[in-house]
């Protein structure tokens, strides 16, 4: 589904990722762990097409993504839930969700929009009673649900989720993780989850990669083989 091969990426002259290789199979949920500043967000942005790539390649569903702008990648089925949620505060919950479906052709819209809304609300029942509320008044957890829901409205095949639990109350962390656990059961959807919370990522993901200072430390071992000590050692090495 996705192959990232020997990727070098960053922001103009700031080189962040060095020779990063990662693969995600259809229906697989992958975790990317690593300390602050390791390059996790940059990795997701490189896949989404919103940072500079200096070398290596990214192949999605058999198609090389080289040179393709972000909106073309979105049209191919890559949805990015950015760090910090980035919902539109002055729009309502429903308007935010509908914006996520921008790429549906107009003929399809009427038929599909309601189905998509129902699908998202089924995953995030909390959003149901808040559909007409402005996104600005939602709690952090609800905004995170909205950001994920908005991404789902584009019917993605690959969902990139950047630290969804950051800054959330424990109950909200659990609610967001539960929603991701349900999404994971969709065999047509692959997920890359970036997390600082090691335990949550280990519980949720099929395989884990560890990024440290822009280098991939672990080539995607099965989570059973990743001991807490190994993860801690990787974090320590990265400092």
Ligand X SMILES: Nc1ncnc2c1ncn2[C@@H]1O[C@H](COP(=O)(O)OP(=O)(O)O)[C@@H](O)[C@H]1O
Can you give the binding site for ligand X, defined by CB under 6 A? 11, 14, 16, 34, 36-42
Name the binder of 105 from Mg ion, ligand X, none, CB < 5-8 A by kind: none
Classify 177 in phi/psi space as left (phi over 0), alpha (psi -120 to 50) or beta: alpha
- Compare residues 16 and 120 and give the one whose CB is closer to ligand X: 16
Q: Does 42 bind Mg ion (CB under 5 A)?
A: no
Number of residues that bind Mg ion (CB under 5 A): 3
Shortest Å, Cβ 212 to ligand X: 9
Q: State the Cα–Cα distance between residues 120 and 196, nearest whole angstrom.
A: 25
Which of 12, 148, 147, 9 has the alpha carbon at shortest distance from 87? 147
Where does residue 169 rank: exposed (0-12), middle (13-18), buried (19+ CB within 10 A)? exposed
Nearer CB in complex with Mg ion: 36/185: 36
Q: Tell me whether residue 34 or residue 141 sits nearer to ligand X (CB atom).
A: 34
The least CB distance from residue 165 to Mg ion, in Å, is 12
Q: Choosing among ligand X, Mg ion, none, which partner's interface includes residue 36 (Cβ < 5 to 8 Å by kind)?
A: ligand X
Coil, helix or strand for 193?
strand
Q: Is 96 in the site for Mg ion (CB under 5 A)?
A: no
Is residue 144 at the binding interface for Mg ion, with CB under 5 A as the rule? no
Pick the closer one to Mg ion by CB: 93 or 144.
144
- Are 218 and 31 in contact by the 8 Å Cβ rule? The answer is no
**41 makes contact with Mg ion (CB under 5 A):** yes
Contact call for residue 165 and Mg ion (CB under 5 A): no
**Beta bridge partner(s), residue 161:** 81, 193
Under the criterion CB under 5 A, does residue 212 sit at the interface with Mg ion? no
| Residue nearer to Mg ion on the CB measure, 29 or 42 | 42
Say how many C-beta atoms besides its own lie within 10 A of residue 137's C-beta: 12
Quote the least distance from Cβ 162 to Mg ion, whole Å.
Answer: 6
Q: Is the dihedral of CA 151, 206, 31, 18 positive or negative?
A: negative
Q: How far is the CB of 200 from ligand X (least distance, A)?
A: 16
3-state secondary structure of 227: coil
Name the pairing type of β-strands 158-162 and 78-81. Answer: parallel
Binding residues vs Mg ion (CB under 5 A) = 40-41, 83
């Amino acid at each position: 589904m996705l192959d990232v091969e020997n990727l070098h990426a960053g922001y103009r002259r700031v080189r962040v990722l060095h020779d990063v290789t990662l693969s995600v199979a259809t229906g697989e949920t992958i975790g990317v762990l690593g300390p602050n500043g390791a390059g996790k967000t940059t990795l997701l942005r490189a896949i989404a097409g919103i940072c500079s790539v200096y070398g290596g390649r990214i192949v999605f569903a058999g198609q090389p993504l080289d040179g393709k702008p972000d909106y073309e990648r979105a049209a191919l089925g890559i949805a990015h839930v950015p760090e910090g949620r980035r919902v539109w505060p002055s729009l309502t919950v429903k308007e935010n969700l509908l914006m996520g479906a921008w790429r549906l052709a107009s003929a399809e819209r009427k038929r599909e929009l309601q189905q998509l809304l129902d699908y998202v609300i089924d995953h995030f029942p909390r959003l149901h009673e808040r559909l007409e509320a402005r996104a600005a008044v939602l709690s952090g957890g609800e905004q995170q649900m909205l950001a994920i829901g908005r991404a789902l409205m584009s019917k993605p095949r690959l969902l990139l989720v950047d630290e969804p639990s950051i800054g959330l109350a424990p109950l909200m962390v659990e609610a967001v993780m539960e929603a991701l656990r349900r999404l994971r059961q969709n065999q047509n959807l692959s997920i890359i989850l970036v997390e600082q919370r090691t335990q949550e990522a280990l519980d949720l993901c099929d395989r884990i990669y560890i990024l440290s200072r822009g280098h991939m430390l672990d080539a995607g071992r099965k989570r059973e083989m990743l001991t807490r000590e190994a993860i801690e050692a990787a974090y320590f090495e990265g400092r």
